[in-house]
Amino acid sequence: MARLKIDPDVQFIKELQAAGGESLKKCYQCATCSVVCPLSPEENPFPRKEMIWAQWGLKDKLVNDIDIWLCHNCGECSDLCPRGASPGDVLAALRNMAYRSLAKPAIIGKWMSSSRYLPILFAIPAIIYFIIWGFTTGLSIPDGPIEYGKVFPGDYTIDPIFGLAALFVLFTFATAIGNLFRSFKESGLTPGEDAPGFWKALIDVIKEEIITHKKFQDCVSNAERYKGHLYIFYGFVALGIVTSIVAVGHWGGLLIGHQLHTPLSLWNPIKILANIGAIALLVGLTLITRMRLNADPSKTTTSYYDWYLLGVIWAIAITGTLSELLRLANVPGLAYPVYYLHLISVFMMIAYLPWSKLAHLVYRTVALAYARQVGRKGPGE
Ligand code: SF4
Ligand code: SF4
């Protein structure tokens, strides 16, 4: 009989446990998780096989596994696991590790993996905006009506910094997606000749799954997470539309000699959309944070990646709302420092995006499109 030699990567197991999969050793392979998962394909289902690969430290199999992206972390399997092995969290931990290995430079992924490095991530934007404040007003609070542009001129500081950060993020995502596709191919998944084209599959995924959050609805055990995720998603969509309109109106307006200037009046439709987006974000954050705080620790764990993302989005929402309220209430001594913190928190979300949990929005979306191309489908699809 042929013998199969298994060469476990012990370091990988330790890293996986540290990334949120500490319960993986409890699994005794009953397969309940694969049976109850509403998204798992009938053929070669997940997450039981990932649990045994993780226990054996089969890093090569796990890093190339498309199924970790098909999981939507609904927690159904973790709720019903008789051993408290939290398979949903183990898959989430595998995704956390994938953010680190897909996106380069890897050092940022390392900084995103532990609270130990949080001061570095905070210090980078804090120093940049501190220097700008020093240049514009000598670190003092300007006189007259509150206009954040007096301290942080949009045209010369905020737009170029965030423009460069956005280009950096786009380039990083493009190379990371290339790495992701290479890893799928290494696992033997290649689209057949009659497979739909990637862009068609991608548009179908966005239309049929992302916009409707259909796969989240398939998970019945965690309705609060579905609602919270939906609010946060549409909050970001609204704020993304507002940012795009303001950027195009401001810079595109140069061409026609009629630029859009901020701050906008409270009754401007763009401002109304921004405020609706901010409220949606706050509602979604409240739901998700409450769910995380009330979670049964014997069934699920909340990793540092979860708390980092929640913390940064909370910081953006609170400092953004306070910046507006303090400006309206004309309290310059607080308004400018709060706006400074707001810029830092926005930078911490945007510039480190490809290594954060929010990156699943990009990686999972393209993985779902690839899964359609290779015919990896869930039940009933
Ligand atoms: S993770 Fe839990 S439900 Fe899944 S195979 Fe292991 S013990 Fe069974
Ligand atoms: S968390 Fe939900 S989607 Fe992910 S494996 Fe478990 S049951 Fe399936």
Cα 296 to middle of ligand 1, angstroms = 17
By the 8 A CB rule, do 58 and 344 touch?
Answer: no
Q: What is the pLDDT along the chain (381 residues), one digit of tens a residue?
A: 566 666 778 888 999 998 888 889 999 999 999 999 988 998 889 999 999 999 998 988 898 899 999 998 888 899 899 999 999 999 999 999 999 889 999 999 999 999 999 999 999 999 999 999 999 999 999 999 999 989 998 778 888 898 899 999 999 999 999 999 999 999 888 988 888 899 999 999 999 888 887 777 776 666 777 888 889 989 989 988 998 888 888 777 777 777 777 777 788 888 899 989 989 989 999 999 998 888 888 878 888 999 999 999 999 989 988 998 999 999 999 999 999 999 999 999 999 999 999 999 999 999 999 999 998 876 666
**Is the CB–ligand 2 distance for residue 39 below 6 Å?**
yes
Q: Which domains does the chain have, with CATH numbers?
A: 10-102 (1.10.1060.10), 107-374 (no CATH)
In the numeric block, which tokens belong to residue 230? 């939906």
| CA 132 to ligand 2 center in whole angstroms | 46
Distance CA 45, CA 82 (A): 18
Angle (CA) 59 64 66, round 5° = 130
How many Å lie between the centroid of ligand 2 and the Cα of residue 246?
Answer: 39
Which ranges in 71-197 belong to alpha helices (H)? 76-80, 87-102, 106-112, 118-137, 159-186
CA–CA separation, 110 vs 218, rounded Å? 34
Contacts of 171 (CB under 8 A, 6+ apart): none
48 within ligand 1 shell (Cβ under 6 A): yes
Residue of the CA atom closest to atom 6 of ligand 1: 27
CB crowding 222-240: b at 16 or more within 10 Å, else e: beebbbbbbbbbbbbebbe
Cα of first residue to Cα of last residue in the chain, in angstroms, is 39
The Å distance, Cα 92 to ligand 2 centre, comes to 10
**pTM for the full model?**
0.87
Nearest-CA neighbor of 33 among 70, 98, 83?
83
Q: Which atom of ligand 1 is nearest to the CA of 87?
A: 1
